[in-house]
């Protein structure tokens, strides 16, 4: 989930908004401005209802951000790097650089989210009671009370023992501790997530069919998201298990064909697809031999045909700072999340700043699909990319 709008760093963590977060703002504001606020306190102006509803929506987003920041802060304290946080249509997501190192760390990282939401709900409930005791505006009390209730609901919902919810992470930590098998624990939590998802889908459509209430589509949508996310999590765990202990050097394509940054696009195209350049992406080298970036056929195709004879590769390449890079001895399980979410789904492998390989999803699939050695077979000599 890539952020559309960056909010900078909070507590040292990159935070961004996905465009779909507008759905949250619109749904919450519409429900409050056209429903709850006028029904509870009629007689106020439409402008006031909408202004307070929009403000409440923003505070709600801030509470979602606090939930995810809590995950990120505790993750960093447990030795897990955080790539960033993105708020989107169905809430928020903290992107962890790697998995928790132990069941205890998993428990702490997962548990702090619902605790944060519950704490916020309690504080907001206390604030609503205090404002009511001071005879503050009924609308203001209603807005704060709604925020308190929704945070408590989030705490309870996220604590349900089903992946990918925080409760699913807690369940996985428990199963991991009991069995000592991370993959088996993930499968159990993912199965619980799919079960909850199907239950929500069935309940949502039952509300639509038997009561004629289309609000049932919302839990059905959340249920479908849970099914998809839980299934993806199980697959990811299977992939991580297969790659555990495997370094990048065993999967990458060593000594990839590179392109000088000063070459024109026409020069590059003249050598392919059957000549020297027969791939669809190439590392770009600076005059001193260091890596400057990456050029892809897609970038070349965006350049007008008449301009390709005068356009240099370095003028249209993706610069190195924006690319995924890795070291040869880096574990594949640590690189995989960056590879899957990268702009071009490729990683340049650098050893002391020197290009030694390139890794693509095709390399990964080829490694995973390689038949297992027969019983009693022994590997001799270096693996591809080693030695």
Could you state, in order of their start, the residue ranges of all structural domains in the chain? 5-243, 248-368
Contact between residue 88 and residue 15 where contact means Cβ atoms under 8 Å apart: no
pLDDT digits (tens, 9 = 90+) for 57-86: 999 999 999 999 999 999 999 988 887 888
pLDDT at 53: 95
Q: Does domain 248-368 sit in CATH 3.40.1280.10?
A: no
d(CA 296, CA 280): 6
* Structure-block tokens of residue 343: 């702009």
Length of the chain: 387
Cβ atoms within 10 Å of 149's Cβ, excluding its own: 14
pLDDT at 385: 39
pLDDT at 286: 93
As annotated, the active-site residues are 68
Residue 226 Rama label (left phi>0; alpha psi -120 to 50; beta): alpha
- Mean pLDDT, consecutive 10-residue stretches, the chain (387 aa), reads 74 82 88 92 93 95 93 91 79 77 93 96 97 92 96 93 92 94 92 94 91 82 89 85 88 91 90 68 92 92 92 94 92 83 86 92 81 48 39
d(CA 282, CA 277): 8
Q: Cis link prior to 164 (omega < 30° from 0)?
A: yes
Would you call 252 exposed, middle or buried from its count of C-beta atoms within 10 A (0-12, 13-18, 19+)?
Answer: buried
Reduce the DSSP state of residue 208 to 3 states and report it.
helix
């Amino acid at each position: 989930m890539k952020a559309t709008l960056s909010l900078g760093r909070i507590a040292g963590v990159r935070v961004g908004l996905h465009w779909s977060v507008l759905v949250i703002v619109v749904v919450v504001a519409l429900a409050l401005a056209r429903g709850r606020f006028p029904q509870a306190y009629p007689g106020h102006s439409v402008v006031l209802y909408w202004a307070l509803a929009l403000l409440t929506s923003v505070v709600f987003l801030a509470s979602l951000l606090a939930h995810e920041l809590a995950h990120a802060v505790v993750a960093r304290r447990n030795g897990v790097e955080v790539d960033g946080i993105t708020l989107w249509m169905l809430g928020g997501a903290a992107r962890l650089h790697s998995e928790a190192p132990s069941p205890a760390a998993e428990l702490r990282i997962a548990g702090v989210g619902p605790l944060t939401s519950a704490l916020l709900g309690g504080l907001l409930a206390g604030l609503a009671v205090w404002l009511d005791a001071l005879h503050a505006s009924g609308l203001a009390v209603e807005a704060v009370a709604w925020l308190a209730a929704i945070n408590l609901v989030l705490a309870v919902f996220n604590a349900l023992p089903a992946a990918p919810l925080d409760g699913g992470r807690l369940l996985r930590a428990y199963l991991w501790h009991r069995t000592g098998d991370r993959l088996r624990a993930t499968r159990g939590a993912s199965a619980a997530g799919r079960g909850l998802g199907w239950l929500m889908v069935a309940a949502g459509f039952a509300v639509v069919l038997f009561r004629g209430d289309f609000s049932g589509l919302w839990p059905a949508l959340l249920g479908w998201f849970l099914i998809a996310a839980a299934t993806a999590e199980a697959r990811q765990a299977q992939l991580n298990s297969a790659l555990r202990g495997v370094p990048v050097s065993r999967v990458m394509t060593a000594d990839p064909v590179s392109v000088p940054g000063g070459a024109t696009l026409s020069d590059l195209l003249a050598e392919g697809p059957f000549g020297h350049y027969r791939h669809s992406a190439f590392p770009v080298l600076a005059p001193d031999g260091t890596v400057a970036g990456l050029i892809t056929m897609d970038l070349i195709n965006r350049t007008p045909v008449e301009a390709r004879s005068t356009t240099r590769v370095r003028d249209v390449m993706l610069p190195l700072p924006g690319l995924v890079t890795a070291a040869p001895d880096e574990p594949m399980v640590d690189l995989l999340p960056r590879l899957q979410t990268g702009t071009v789904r490729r990683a340049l492998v650098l050893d002391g700043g020197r290009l030694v390989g390139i890794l693509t999803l095709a390399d990964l699939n080829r490694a995973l699909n390689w038949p297992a050695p027969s019983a009693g077979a022994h590997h001799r000599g270096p693996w591809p990319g080693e030695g």
